[in-house]
Amino acid sequence: MSDKARVLVTRKWPERVEALIAERYDATFNPDDMPLTEAALAAAMRDYDAICPTITDKLHAGILGGEGRRVKIIANYGAGVDHIDLAAARAANVIATNTPGVLTDATADLAVTLMLMTSRRAGEGERELRAGKWTGWRPTHLLGTSLRGKTLGLVGFGRIAQAMAERARFGFGMDIVYYSRRRGAPDDEQRLGARYIPSLSPMVAQCDFVSLHIPGGAETRNIIDAQIFAQMPPHAILVNTARGDVVDQDALIDALETRRIGGAGLDVFAGEPHVPQRLRDAPNAVLLPHLGSATREAREAMGLRALANLDDWNEGRVPRDRL
């Protein structure tokens, strides 16, 4: 009988990280990499000392508050934790941690990728070429828009938003404005040339691009809705690498279909992995399958950060990223 803590890793992680976990713990992995059922998660709460979940694992109050719970820590793989009922975890005396900071650059890079792909109509062009419909170069074919001199509006002003602002301002010469519930530090505003606007609607009204960098959850659900789309200029482009539920997806589809806005670059969706057919059919939308942190460097760093939190707990220290 092993005296090591029993740990469940719910999805497949980078090999190096899994090897380290296996050395230090009595670990169970998921080689098939399929999401666990609710029943499996409920059973895991009784069978393991620690669970290492991802965004695909919905740890609600019914699971966290079940009888016979053995789990003492949830070491989440990822920065976002809207899939975990933190209040229920606290009530059950279960520690919850996340992995902040290590995916900043990867996600900001992808937000810029979406901004470029949408503004330059790269998705439309690739689909045309792959379908064998390209007839050759011509002066007015798939005309897009330059980023230089345009205004980027950030919703949120945390690590990823500021990394996005840095790339946009110093890489493309864009003007930066932002909205956040709490104003950022003056030094950050000065460094990035970012101007704070205390209300969302007036901010989006002056933006060529709006990029979302806020957590999901009840407080931010559908914060970008039909009223916000009505305030955006008709050429404006929405970029979302945050969470799908911060956008009213039906309102977004309507705005795309009616050309109320110029386009959208999306890496996240409400109800993932389902994406509505109307959204998939929208030619002015670039759609990616939740690739924000999908670099080898970022995904390995995320696993190592989750492991560090596990080690802190196992060795009697307060986990460095306790929520």
* Amino acid found at 183: R
Measured in degrees and rounded to the nearest 5, phi and psi for residue 287 equal: -120, 125
- Helix 296-314 × helix 15-24 angle, to 10°: 10
- Catalytic residues, by residue number, are 243, 272, 290
